[in-house]
Structure 1
Amino acid sequence: MLQAPANAEGGASGTLLAPPRPAARGSEFAPLLKEVKGQGLLERRTGWYARGIAVNLLALAATVTAMALTGDTWWTLLYAVPLAVFWARTAFFGHDAGHAQITRSRRAGRAIGLLHSNLLLGMSYAWWNDKHNRHHANPNHVDKDPDVGVGALVWTEKQAERREGFARWLTRNQARLFFPMLLLEGIALKVYGFQDLRRQPRRERAVEGTLLLVHLAAYASLLLTVLSPGKALVFALLHHALFGLHLGMTFAPNHKGMEMPDADDDGWGHLRRQVLTSRNVRGGPLTDWFLGGLNYQIEHHLFPNVPRPHLRLVQPLVRAHCRAVGIPYAETSLIDSYRQALRHMHAVGAPLRRGGAA
């Protein structure tokens, strides 16, 4: 049964307006796909990505060089900020490679993904792709989307009711703890990758595991060459905290607080399934850069292999099509997207707060 989102508000801003009117299934997405394809927006932008990847690699190299030149001083910790920012760009390129946005070649795409995820970030490309593809297939689905499964946080009152002990306390306070918890995400991503190696086929496990170990060795060698052990540990913790926070700030606005379908809503077509569960973030080039193009979340979910620079060109086509078929198109500011997500998390924990400390 469809669960009402915490942010069901109307207005000209593009936030959720009114319940969608029924429409003929199977006919809603095809005209939009034809239009997007007809304008050449599904074509790859290999040159754009090549330049972007080269600039990001140079920025990473410049940051590492600056760290080495600054040497064993607490001032070197300042470089944790740009390093976290450029690591986030690296994650965005790995994400795009996984969606075949960069190249049609699966082998080349995997190579780019392994470079950016395993080698540069120490995060398993295979683990991320498996999890992320399941999310894209059924976004916000309470039974099928791993991103809204029960974990440190929960996303429905039904999930919250089953919490016990410390997890129950965590759920009662999850809205206020959300951003602090993101500080642990950078380390958690590494842990998840190593845990996933047991699931992977032997050949894939050998490649992924080797690259993860090479990353850890290179990262530790860099820090211990430049800094004393104590400063190196502080730098690593600060760097991973900022990296996790940045990624969390990127992904939090996308679906939290939007519609959460379950088994009763499995008849939704592709257009409704992707649009009703996703939220866009308004902004200009700086927003596009900071969020890696994922501020066009609706367009990305409808056309996951559309190259990042084409998403802003696809947006007016999608918005107009949604208006024509009567489907709400959710778009808001970055700050308000966080507010809506936190409001949803707070509402999920409300029954436990009313129930007291038990």
Structure 2
Amino acid sequence: MSQTTAVVGAPDPGDAVAPPGSEFAPLLRTVKGRGLLERRRSWYALCMSANVLAPAGIVSGIVLIGDSWLTLLLAPLLAVLGARTAFMGHDAGHSQKGMEIPDPNGERWGHLRRQVLTSRNIRGSALTDWFLGGLNHQIEHHLFPSMPRPNLRLAQPLVRAHCQDVGIPFVETGLVDSYRQALCRLHEVGKPLRTEWTEWTE
């Protein structure tokens, strides 16, 4: 899997850009028209049931195995399922460290620009969706926070195409590169503290 960052829909200086207040409405109509904002209660019920039964099965396995090093083999599974349970409960994960932020003294951003420009998606397969709880589709999740999680992947091509039409960059990156970008940003913002600590300890 490529770990490069792809930016789709960067504006051409000669392109006309719609006023910020009107950019989101056409996308919202399209998404509603496809039924992507309709509740998916059965999907959530199935996931929540699995999130209760699977850890119960692992804990039962630990009890049955007893006092043995073999129980350590079940620990990673329990950790992954615990993280997925947290995703289900929280239903929001943020991978936007180091993204653009609006200039308080500059042009006011509408909903579409504010959510798309301050988020990035993480590319991947259905397995990536499973491990990250579907929240690797951060742009779609921020635009439509009440959208059922399994519909985020379905909304992605609509959002990407709309961003390209209105000239808004749509950023996607690989999983490893997303961590690299976040760590680089944390390193950057921590630089003044490191400098201060070095001066204090000398």
- State the one-letter code of the partner of 1:283: G
Q: CA deviation at 1:72?
A: 2.6
Distance in 1 (CA, whole Å) between partners of 2:103 and 2:80 is 36
Is 2:160 the partner of 1:343? no
Corresponding residue to 2:153 among 312, 317, 328: 312
Residues 1:266 and 1:72: Cα distance change in structure 2 (over 3 Å): farther
Runs of 4+ residues over 4 Å off in structure 1: 15-22, 351-356
Letter aligned with residue 153 of structure 2: R
Deviations 1:119-155 (A, max 9, x none): xxxxxxxxxxxxx7xxxxxxxxxxxxxxxxxxxxxxx
> Quick one: which amino acid aligns to residue 28 of structure 2?
L
Q: Deviations over 1:266-312 (max 9, x none)?
A: 82110011000000000001100000011100000000111111001
Change (3 A) 1:351 1:47: same
Amino acid at match of 2:184: R
Cα distance between partner residues in 1 of 2:62 and 2:115 = 43
Alignment of 1:111-122 (within 5 A): none
Q: Which residue of 2 aligns with 1:295?
A: 136
Distance 1:356 1:87 in 2: 36
Counterpart pick for 2:174 among 317, 323, 333? 333
Contact (CA 8 Å) 1:32, 1:318: kept in 2 or not?
A: yes
1:85 equivalent in alignment to 2:106: no
Q: Determine the structure 1 residue equivalent to 2:108.
A: 267
Query: How far 1:33 moved relative to its partner?
Result: 0.3
Shift of residue 22, structure 1, vs aligned partner: 5.4
The 8 Å contact of residues 28 and 271 in structure 1, kept in 2 or not, is answered as yes
- Name 1:94's counterpart in structure 2: 89
Between 1 and 2, higher relative CO (CA 8 Å, sep ≥ 6) is seen in: 2
Structure 2 residue aligned with 1:231: none
Partner of 2:7: 14
Asked if the contact 2:5/2:171 (under 8 Å) is kept, the reply is: no
> 1:141 maps to which residue?
none
- The answer to whether structure 1 residue 279 and structure 2 residue 120 are counterparts is yes
Cα distance in 1 for partners of 2:104, 2:188 equals: 22
CA positional deviation for 1:319: 0.2
CA gap of 1:353–1:56, structure 2 versus 1, over 3 A, is closer
Q: 2:102 touches 2:109 (CA, 8 Å); kept in 1?
A: no
* Native 8 Å contact 2:65 2:71 kept in 1: yes
Equivalent-residue separation in structure 2 for 1:265 and 1:65 (angstroms): 58
Percent of aligned pairs sharing the same letter? 61
Change (3 A) 1:354 1:90: closer
Structure with greater proportional helix content: 1
| Matching residue within 61, 66, 69 for 2:61 | 66
* Equivalent residue in structure 2 for 1:50, among 4, 23, 45: 45
Q: Using structure 1 for the length normalisation, give the TM-score.
A: 0.50
8 Å Cα contact 1:294-1:300 kept in structure 2? yes
- Decide whether the 8 Å contact of 1:60 with 1:86 is kept in 2: yes
**Equivalent residues of 1:32, 1:317 under 8 A apart:** yes
Aligned residues: 194
TM-score (norm 2): 0.85
- 1:278–1:298: 8 Å Cα contact kept in structure 2? yes
Change (3 A) 1:84 1:19: farther
Q: What's the RMSD between the two structures over aligned residues?
A: 2.6
Q: Which runs of 5+ in 1 are unaligned?
A: 1-10, 97-131, 133-250
Compared CA separation, residues 12 and 281, structure 1 to 2 (3 A): closer
Q: Judge conservation of contact 2:10–2:164 (CA < 8 Å) in 1.
A: no
**Residue 29 in 1 paired to residue 24 in 2?**
yes
Q: One-letter code of the match for 1:344?
A: R
Give the letter for the 2:43 counterpart: W
CA displacement at 1:17 relative to structure 2:
4.8
Give the letter aligned to residue 33 of structure 1: L
